């Protein structure tokens, strides 16, 4: 059963509302949200009727579109999903929408190669591959790095929309180190991916420093459209992350000169896939290759260096070399303890 664009906007908006368990949703609340979405995306000013929303809810509950949404009414007034993690976006794509997606990919493939589309090659390949797998059940001919068990991927689009619309977010967040979660108002500025994990760069309402939050540690969030949005007045984010490996940084951190020496057996990997865009070769001979990075010192840099194990030696700065040495000694001692226990 084909779904027109306006109806799809209504279904998606209702789905976004019912997924948000921060608040209770009446029929009037859903009408207001859907009306706002139709005005924003299609310029429709007439709003939407109660009868239309009731029909949409019934359609989402049914099998006609393959949603089978578990929509229930609580206290005879509030609508919600009976299953907390349900979303219509997890439903299989119908044949009509599949054909439309194939047409879109076909257009993108023709545009690929033009200057403004240089960075789209990987995305287009992913789209075409996923469509082929889902629609035709064919073999997978290209594999991308992914983690299907990674939490928080469903947060990406709604947070991205909040950034575009400059809407503050009320976020319940629990870091790995925290014993309990906390709920605060944040002004979202940037979504950033690093090694298949997604992070949000934001400013807390009661704070003066930017924070980086992992999306998989966000428990729940909701938009607060009535809250005034505070624009970021600092450096452009392209420059902000330009001297960084990973995502961990404060506004006070500055890049420093990091010098690494790799043995000859591992040098080709570093030369063909630079650790950072600032990488420079200082010395190269048959025994080793010495490179320089101009980056901030952070956890991700240390993890990258440790990942090369005995193939690399930190020549500078001295305090980074000492830190890496201590971590390697600690790791080695753990194996020594294991050996003693077995003995």
* pLDDT tens sequence across 281-299: 999 999 999 999 999 999 9
| Residue, of 336 and 273, whose pLDDT is higher | 273
d(CA 268, CA 271): 5
pLDDT of residue 195: 85
pLDDT interval class at 1 (50, 70, 90): very low
Taking residues 163-177, what's their average pLDDT? Answer: 91
Selection from 219, 202, 4 nearest residue 96 by Cα? 4
Number of other CB atoms surrounding residue 128 within 10 Å: 18
Lowest mean pLDDT among 94-103, 108-117, 244-253, 254-263: 108-117
CB 186 within 8 A of CB 169: yes
pLDDT tens profile 193-241: 888 889 999 999 998 889 999 999 999 899 998 899 999 988 888 888 8
Return the HEC string of the chain: CCCCHHHHHHHHHHHHHHHCCCCCECHHHHHHHHHHHHHHHHCCCCCCCHHHHHHHHHHHHCCCCCCCCCEEEECCCEEEECCCCCCHHHCCCCHHHHHHHHHHHHHHHHHECEHHHHHHHHHHHHHHHHHHHHHHCCCCCCCCCCCCCCCCHHHHHHHHHHHHHCCCEEEEECCCCCCCCEEEEEEEEEEEEECCEEEEEEEECCCCCCEEEEHHHEEEEEECCCCCCCCCCCCCHHHHCCCCCCCCCCCCCCCEEEEEEEECCCHHHHHHCCCCCCCEEEEECCCEEEEEEEECCCHHHHHHHHHCHHHEEEEECHHHHHHHHHHHHHHHHHHHHHHHHHC
CA distances from 301 to 244, 245, 258 (A): 8, 6, 10
pLDDT of residue 118 exceeding 70 = no
d(CA 60, CA 294): 53
Give the number of C-alpha atoms closer than 13 A to the C-alpha of residue 36, restricted to the C-beta side.
11
Bond preceding residue 317 cis, omega within 30 of 0 = yes
pTM of the model: 0.65
Selection from 207, 206, 171 nearest residue 188 by Cα? 171
Q: How many residues does the chain have?
A: 343
Report residue 132 as tokens: 């082929």
Report residue 286 as tokens: 């048959």
pLDDT of residue 340: 61
CB 37 within 8 A of CB 113: no
pLDDT tens profile 174-193: 988 888 899 999 999 999 98
Residue 204 burial class via C-beta count within 10 angstroms: exposed 0-12, middle 13-18, buried 19 and up = middle
pLDDT of residue 252: 83
Q: What is the mean pLDDT of the chain?
A: 85
Q: Look-up: residue for tokens 């070399």?
A: 321
Terminal C-alpha separation, the chain: 68
């Amino acid at each position: 059963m084909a779904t027109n664009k306006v109806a799809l906007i209504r279904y998606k908006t209702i789905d976004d509302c019912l997924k948000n368990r921060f608040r209770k949703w009446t029929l009037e609340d859903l009408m207001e949200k859907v009306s706002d979405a139709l005005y924003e995306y299609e310029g429709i000013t007439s709003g939407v009727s109660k009868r239309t929303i009731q029909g949409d809810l019934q359609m989402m509950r049914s099998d006609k579109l393959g949603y089978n949404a578990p929509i229930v009414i609580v206290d005879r007034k509030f609508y919600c999903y009976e299953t907390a993690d349900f979303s219509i976006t997890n439903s299989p794509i119908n044949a009509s929408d599949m054909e439309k997606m194939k047409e879109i990919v076909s257009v993108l493939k023709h545009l690929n190669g033009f200057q403004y589309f240089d960075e789209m090659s990987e995305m287009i390949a992913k789209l075409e591959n996923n469509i082929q797998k889902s629609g035709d059940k064919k073999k997978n001919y290209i594999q991308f790095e992914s983690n299907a068990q990674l939490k928080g991927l469903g947060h990406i689009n709604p947070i991205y929309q909040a950034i575009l619309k400059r809407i503050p977010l009320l976020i319940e967040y629990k870091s790995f180190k925290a014993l309990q979660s906390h709920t605060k108002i944040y002004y979202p500025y940037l979504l950033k991916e690093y090694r298949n994990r997604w992070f949000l760069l934001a400013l807390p309402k009661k704070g003066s420093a930017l924070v980086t939050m992992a999306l998989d540690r966000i428990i729940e969030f909701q938009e607060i459209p009535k809250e005034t949005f505070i624009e970021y007045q600092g450096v452009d984010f392209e420059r902000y992350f330009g001297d960084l490996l990973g995502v961990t940084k404060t506004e006070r951190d500055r890049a420093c000169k990091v010098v690494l020496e790799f043995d000859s057996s591992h040098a080709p990997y570093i030369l063909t896939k630079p650790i950072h865009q600032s990488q420079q070769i200082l010395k190269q001979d048959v025994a080793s290759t010495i490179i320089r990075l101009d980056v901030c010192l952070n956890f991700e840099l240390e993890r990258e260096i440790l990942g090369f194990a005995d193939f690399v030696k930190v020549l500078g700065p001295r305090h980074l070399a000492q830190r890496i040495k201590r971590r390697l000694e600690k790791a080695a001692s753990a194996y020594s303890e294991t050996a003693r226990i077995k003995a």
